[in-house]
Amino acid sequence: MSSEPLNWQKPPPAACRGGALSIGNFDGVHRGHRTLLTELRQRAARVGGPAVVLTFDPHPLQLLSPERFQPLLTTIEDRVALLHAAGAERVAVLRTTPELLQLSARDFFARVVQAGFQAQALVEGGNFAFGRNREADVETLRRYCQEAGIDFAVVPFFQEAGRNVSSSQVRAALLAGDVRGAAALLGRCYRLRGTVVVGQRRGRTIGFPTANLDAMPTLLPGNGVYAVRVEQAGQQWPGAANIGPNPTFGEDARKVEIHLIGFEGDLYGQALAVDFVARLRDTRPFAGVAELKAQLQQDVDQARQLIANGAN
């Protein structure tokens, strides 16, 4: 199904009705979400309908409390694709509106879950909340489902290293530069998308041309130098990425610069998908160009070896 948002006041496509439904933001589609979707498919088979995920765009916080909103972990297009890959047969994206957010829990259940999706089963995580001001929790939802004769399941939190896996935990790991820790929570490398724009072109003059990324809609990992895999026009390249300022040349602006190892050509205006494999070092100033070039060569060699060895 397309990631184009649906009008919540209109019936969803027929293929989304009469099955097992799970509702949430599903930001990042991490390992906990995938555990929930495994249960969703089982419940869908039991009721003889589709396994349907219902998510929202834009994120409700962007309307309710924009000052608290943080960049997401996935674009809506990637979220839909990841949910399908995790087992959802249908992914419905509802357009978030003030009217939708003002529905009481009872009205949301009646109008969206029952009348709209005609759900025969619901599957949620233990921290699920819904309705105006998140007024209702899973126990309220359980009661509504019992009254309506709808099958209901609460999936326990998935744990990694003794901690509940959550989108907030993934975000914290990324902001700390711990991309390997984030990958353990996600079950895959974290992906950043952006468009290549014209930069200072300084890297080209010292033998390490870089693609400067702009228009990045999701969370940036913390400052540092990383080994990455880069997808461009259907091809993959090993790479080394720098996030942060360039103190050697007195630049304070935070940038994302990617060196595609072995690539030759013009990337301006092209879209790149960058998967973060490992953090190599901190961003720091160097005494001069010669010292910087020597360090960049070490970064590239280390990144190439990590990627060649299949590091995740």
**What band does 162 get if pLDDT is binned at 50, 70 and 90?**
confident
For residue 13, the model assigns a pLDDT of: 96
CA trace torsion 53, 54, 57, 62 (10° rounding): -110
For residue 287, the model assigns a pLDDT of: 83
pLDDT digits (tens, 9 = 90+) for 282-307: 998 888 889 999 999 999 999 999 99
In the predicted model, is pLDDT for residue 312 greater than 80?
A: no
pLDDT digits (tens, 9 = 90+) for 50-63: 999 999 999 999 99
Name the residue ranges covered by the structural domains of the chain. 14-160, 179-308
Q: Which fold has domain 14-160?
A: Rossmann fold (3.40.50)
Distance CA(41)–CA(44), nearest Å, equals 5
pTM of the predicted protein model: 0.94
Q: Taking residues 43-71, what's their average pLDDT?
A: 96
In the predicted model, is pLDDT for residue 45 greater than 90?
A: yes
**Residues β-bridged to residue 53:** 22, 91
For residue 201, the model assigns a pLDDT of: 62
pLDDT digits (tens, 9 = 90+) for 120-151: 999 999 999 999 999 999 999 999 999 999 99
In the predicted model, is pLDDT for residue 14 greater than 70?
A: yes
pLDDT digits (tens, 9 = 90+) for 227-240: 999 999 999 999 99
Q: Taking residues 13-31, what's their average pLDDT?
A: 97
For residue 15, the model assigns a pLDDT of: 96
Of 15-19, 246-250, 278-282, the least confident = 246-250
In the predicted model, is pLDDT for residue 198 greater than 90?
A: no
Average pLDDT of the chain, as a whole number = 94
Cis peptide before 58 (omega within 30 of 0): yes
Under a CB-based contact definition with an 8 Å cutoff, are residues 128 and 145 in contact?
A: no
**What band does 310 get if pLDDT is binned at 50, 70 and 90?**
confident
pLDDT digits (tens, 9 = 90+) for 88-112: 999 999 999 999 999 999 999 999 9
Which residues make Cβ contacts (< 8 Å) with residue 55, sequence separation at least 6?
A: 23, 24, 25, 26, 79, 80, 83, 91, 92, 93, 94
> Which tokens is 220 given?
């940036």
Question: Domain 179-308's class?
Answer: mainly beta
Chain-centroid distance of CA 138 in Å reads: 24
For residue 127, the model assigns a pLDDT of: 94
The better pLDDT of the pair 162, 258 is held by 258
The better pLDDT of the pair 207, 126 is held by 126
The kind and range of the H/E element at 147 are: helix 138-148
**What band does 199 get if pLDDT is binned at 50, 70 and 90?**
confident
Q: Taking residues 221-250, what's their average pLDDT?
A: 91
